[in-house]
Amino acid sequence: AQSVSQHNHHVILSEAASLELGCNYSYGGTVNLFWYVQYPGQHLQLLLKYFSGDPLVKGIKGFEAEFIKSKFSFNLRKPSVQWSDTAEYFCAVNRNSGNTPLVFGKGTRLSVIA
């Protein structure tokens, strides 16, 4: 079965620090990769996705992620975080065939302090 690992449970950063959240998945075939964000009290929103083409994808609010196939990784990055980035971040993966559902990681809680 597919699985998704997010390495950090809780990350605390100061404003303007750089962010990298790790995500690794277990499936070896062609996959679709997603990062979702959940701000406090709000519903899940899509940050960015990758399914083909340039492995460096840019999303909303200055986030980007790089797909490294050899490492089965899809790490999320942002050069300079803001207090408003405080949220929970979820990596999700599914196979690119067979109408497979998304499998989510356990999430990483990001706290940005002034």
Partner 1 sequence: DGGITQSPKYLFRKEGQNVTLSCEQNLNHDAMYWYRQDPGQGLRLIYYSQIVNDFQKGDIAEGYSVSREKKESFPLTVTSAQKNPTAFYLCASRPQGRENSPLHFGNGTRLTVT
- Tell me which of 80, 97, 111, 113 binds partner 1, using CB under 8 A: 97
9 touches partner 1 by CB under 8 A: yes
As a whole number of angstroms, the distance between CA 8 and CA 19 comes to: 12
Q: What is the CA radius of gyration of the chain?
A: 14
As a whole number of angstroms, the distance between CA 64 and CA 100 comes to: 25
Neighbouring C-beta atoms of residue 21, cutoff 10 Å: 23
- Tell me which of 46, 56, 60, 113 binds partner 1, using CB under 8 A: 46
Instruction: Kindly indicate which of the ranges 4-12, 18-26, 64-72, 75-83 contains the residues binding partner 1, using the contact rule CB under 8 A.
Output: 4-12
Site residues, partner 1 (CB under 8 A)? 1, 4, 6, 9, 32, 34, 36, 43-44, 46, 49, 51-52, 90, 92, 94-107
